Amino acid sequence: MEQEHIILLQKILVLLFCVTLFWKIIKYMCGLLNMEKEPLTVLVTGAAGQIGYALVPMIARGVMLGPDQPVILHMLDIEPAAEALNGVKMELIDAAFPLLRGVVATTDVAEACKGVNIAVMVGGFPRKEGMERKDVMSKNVSIYKAQAAALEQHAAPDCKVLVVANPANTNALILKEFAPSIPDKNITCLTRLDHNRALGQISERLNVHVSEVKNVIIWGNHSSTQYPDVNHASVITTNGAEKSVKDAIANDDWLETEFITTVQQRGAAIIKARKLSSALSAASAACDHIRDWVLGTLKGTWVSMGVYSDGSYGIQPGIIYSFPVTCEKGQWSIVQGLKVDEFSRDKMDATAKELMEEKSLAYSCLN
């Protein structure tokens, strides 16, 4: 009888040990799930401007990097904008964003670039009335050469760079030249705004929600020579069936004329309508670009990014050109094997030609 009591007691002790161990494991796993991520430092240049003012609250709210990613914002602008920049900092503090772990507002490029994980280069010199193209290019070459040097010296080794300021592709190329330690694949420019504009035009035309349209492409330069391409795009129609956009619209003339020019000239149309440039949509697109780059694109979906050409689709290496890309684990890859018809080939080559001309002009400014 006593032996049975001992055995029973041993079983109870083993059971209690197992329950305690199991509970500790559950608590540990819950702790891992609730463990806060280390903050990422995000630089926004031109932060007191229109796009910057729209962009920084989106970053602070988690739109760019996700609802569980704390951020430290570094905001840079020129000396005449210092007071306005400080006003933006005050508003960020007043908004009490839970994810915002710190704000630096400065006119010192070295301070702004210190420890930066992600750099969104919004600041640039805009073209003013009466200015020659080379004058604008020369101003921006100087700006991006200096900022590249600061990123090279002070940013985190794995810093991801998105250039928004125009001419975005060529500004990104200059930045790449003067920040050689930043990997080529970590320097990109924004064509996601054009990509989103193309999605919007298709959804409006077909009267479907924009989320039902995917895989448009912006080829080339973020300029009026860009080529919005729907040859590989698809849409979920109102009856729930997936169709190619070309079949759903069934109007090649519209797709090859009005659709293209509307997307190409959308920025100018917005300036004409509101007497100011696209700020809200550009800021939103910048968030989309970085979010997909860092967190990954949806399976079966690609997006458009201005990236350093590797010769894909016959595009000359050595320029920053917009391609269709997929993203996974913080890396982008150009979508390969898409068929290019004669109409597309001409458009793709025309925008590449413009980028080669811009590159030559930029290098002449350097020399």
Residue 47 marked ligand-binding = yes
Residue 52 marked ligand-binding = yes
Residue 77 marked ligand-binding = yes
Cβ atoms of 100 and 92 closer than 8 Å: yes
Phi then psi for 205, rounded to 5 degrees?
-65, -40
Q: How far apart are the C-alpha atoms of 169 and 345, rounded to whole Å?
A: 20
294-to-113, 186, 318, 325 alpha-carbon distances in Å? 19, 11, 24, 13
Q: How far apart are the C-alpha atoms of 21 and 99, rounded to whole Å?
A: 34
Q: How far apart are the C-alpha atoms of 193 and 255, rounded to whole Å?
A: 19
Residue 184 marked ligand-binding = no
Residue 179 marked ligand-binding = no
Concerning whether 222 is annotated as a catalytic residue, the answer is yes
Residue 48 marked ligand-binding = yes
Residue 283 marked ligand-binding = no
Name the token pair of 144.
Answer: 């991006």
Residues constituting the chain: 367
Cβ atoms of 121 and 162 closer than 8 Å: yes
Residue 31 marked ligand-binding = no
Of 74, 195, 222, 232, catalytic: 222
Residue 166 marked ligand-binding = yes
Residue 115 marked ligand-binding = no
Residue 51 marked ligand-binding = yes
DSSP characters for 240-284?
A: S-EEEHHHHH--HHHHHTHHHHHHHTHHHHHHHHHSS---HHHHH
Q: At how many degrees (to 10) do helices 50-61 and 82-95 cross?
A: 30
Residue 60 marked ligand-binding = no
Phi then psi for 51, rounded to 5 degrees?
-65, -45
Residue 49 marked ligand-binding = yes
Q: Which residues are annotated as a binding site?
A: 46-52, 77, 127, 133, 140, 164-166, 197
Active site residues: 222
Q: Which residues are annotated as a binding site for NAD(+)?
A: 46-52, 77, 140, 164-166
